[in-house]
Structures are given as C-alpha cells and as structure tokens.
Amino acid sequence: MATRAARNLWLIDKAPIDEITEARLPSKEQVLLRYYHHHREMGKTASGSTKAVVEEVLPFWSRAGIPTTTVIHAGTKLSKLVKVYNDLKKNKNKDRPKHRMDEEIFKRDLKEIFNLAHSSSLQRADVKDEDKEFLRSQREDRGESSMAGIDLVTAKKVEKQVERGTRLKRLREREDSGIARLTERAEIPSQSSSSSSSPVSTTSSPARGSRSQRKKLKQSPSISVKDLNLISTWDRENLSVRQAMSTFAATAQVLGMDIGSMAVSKSTVHRARIAGREQAAEKIVELRNQEIPERLVLHWDGKLLPSLSGDTEDRIAVLLTGEDDAEFLLGIPASSD
C-alpha cells in the first residue's frame, strides 16, 4: 500500500482527496485533487475524470444560489487547469528562474475558487443580493465567508434540477449508443418506393421449394429509408434525424427485418430525406404544370389492400377524373370504420 507521501502530488504536496466537504465554493486546489483521485487512483480516463469532478462541483454553486456556466465550459476550464499543471511538471527539473516563478504563481492561484459563475451573475435580477455578496467575498478571500446562511429549501430544489438534467443526459447517451450498435454495419439496398416485396435470393430458383414458402417470401413486408411516404411522415410529424432513425430501426425490427444487415446512421437518414424532398418537389411542379379540366368527377371506392404487418386493411381510393381521360389519384387513406 502506498504511503501518504508517495500519494502526494508534485508541487501541491497533498494527496488526492475523496470528497469536498467545506461549506465554501471549491478551490482550484480541491478540484485538481479530486481530478487526480478519479484519474490516478480510480483509473478513469481524462474525460471521465473531468466529467465526474464537474458533476460534483456544480451542486456547490447551486446551493449558493449562483447561476453557473454550462457543463461543457466547466469541463473545458478544468481541462485547461490540468494542462497548466502538467506543463509545469514537465519542466520541474529545469533550473531556470522563469520556471520557478511560474510554479509559485500557480501555487498561489490554487487557493482561489474554481470560478464557474455565469458572466452575468452579479447583474441578474433573479440572484439575491446576499448571494451576490457571497460570490464577491469568495472571489476575494475564500476563508471570509461560508454557505451556512443559504436557503436550504431553494438549494435542495436547484440541486434536484441539476441531478435530473444529468440523468436525462445519460439516458439520451445510452439511447444514442444503442441505436448506433443496432444500425452501424451495412447500407440498405436501394429499392423503388413503390415496391413492397422483399428481395428473393438469386441462388435458388422460384420453382424450388413449396408454394407456401414462395408466397411467404412474396408477401414478406419490408421498409426502406428512401420510401417517400415514410419521409413525408417524418417531415409532417416534425421528427428530428435522431428520432427518425430510432423509429425506423424499431419498425424494421417489428417487421422481422435483419437489423444487422443495415446501416441506418444519421447521415443516411439525412441524405434520404433530402433526396425524398427533392422528388416530392419535382412531383408538385409536375402536377402544377398539368392542365386541370373544367369539369371533374370525384370517385371513391373501398379496397382491401395488404398492410405493412402482412395482413389486409380496408382503404379508400379517392380519384378525380375529367375530360380527355384525365385522372388524378388524390390518395388511398385507411378507413376509420
């Protein structure tokens, strides 16, 4: 087991700490010691250690009622502090006055707070005067004030908001990584939007195998990211690229398609949406250029058509006809009855 002296960090001459317990805003020294606890003793990566320390430090500012900078900016600030320390450590054996002076300045700055306050904290009307005064005193001298007088009810409320935001961020990261694992391998084969039958293997003749097997292959449902109906639905429901990718992967699984043979990435969905919108725009221009007859007749008729699930469903074909054999198919919506 390593002795305490062996655990001490160079220049700081203190060992990494297990937690920050003071009723004051954390100092640069405390933040640096916590970073090396995660990085050196817990074996976490540099980015993982930075993230863990930021999540520990932000609640101190929340309890003090002081608005903070973003999590990303806080992580960048901590990374810069670690880099300055490592740069000094590289030059520790160089006997130059400049290096010794830089070390002394760094040691003196470690006593200051690790400032995560928002740039407008002292000007905002929603920040209490006593909280602003506390921030000023902490910036000048950390030892002069503490958080003993903070409103605990407000502090707990803000701390729960921070924890809830962290949980939501982790859930979104897990969702994104899960989708990426499901859909990262190969591109979907190109197929026409009007085709609804799945491809049949070319290694065997349709004459081979039973009639029921051929019928099953013929009616097997499929789905493509290039389907215009699917793309228009994404746009109509205002789905983001990530949401569109997630719904496509889930639908493909329900239809029994092999997710491992697909590669539905965000860029794939984005390119398909752009191409689909261009095709839709061309169709609109084509329809506008057609001459509309003066007299039109509206027709509708119920039809039993195959659905994506492989069953049949009742749909209504709506058609406009006019002179000179003009025909306009308005749509084939599903019957609500």
d(CA 57, CA 37): 14
pLDDT of residue 190: 40
pLDDT of residue 235: 80
> How high is the pLDDT of residue 217?
46
Say how far apart CA 271 and CA 48 lie, in whole Å: 33
pLDDT tens digits for range 5-32: 778 999 999 999 999 987 889 999 999 9
User: How is residue 318 written in tokens?
Assistant: 């709506």
Span of 87-101, 139-153, 198-212, 282-296 with lowest mean pLDDT:
198-212
Supply the range of the domain harboring residue 258.
211-289
Residue 262 placed within a domain: yes
- Please tell me the total count of domains within the chain: 3
Q: How far apart are CA 203 and CA 299, in angstroms?
A: 45
One domain for residues 42 and 106: yes
Mean of pLDDT values over 289-306: 74
pTM: 0.45
Q: How confident is the model at residue 109 (pLDDT cuts 50, 70, 90)?
A: very high
Quote the CA–CA distance of 158 and 153 in Å, as a whole number. 9
Q: Are 95 and 55 within one domain? A: yes
Q: For residue 331, give the H/E element and its range.
A: strand 327-331
Residue 205 pLDDT grade (very low, low, confident, very high; cuts 50, 70, 90): very low
pLDDT, the chain, mean: 77
**Tokens for 59?**
């609640």
Please tell me whether residues 109 and 224 are part of one structural domain. no
Q: How confident is the model at residue 207 (pLDDT cuts 50, 70, 90)?
A: very low
- The reply to whether 160 and 27 lie within a common domain is yes
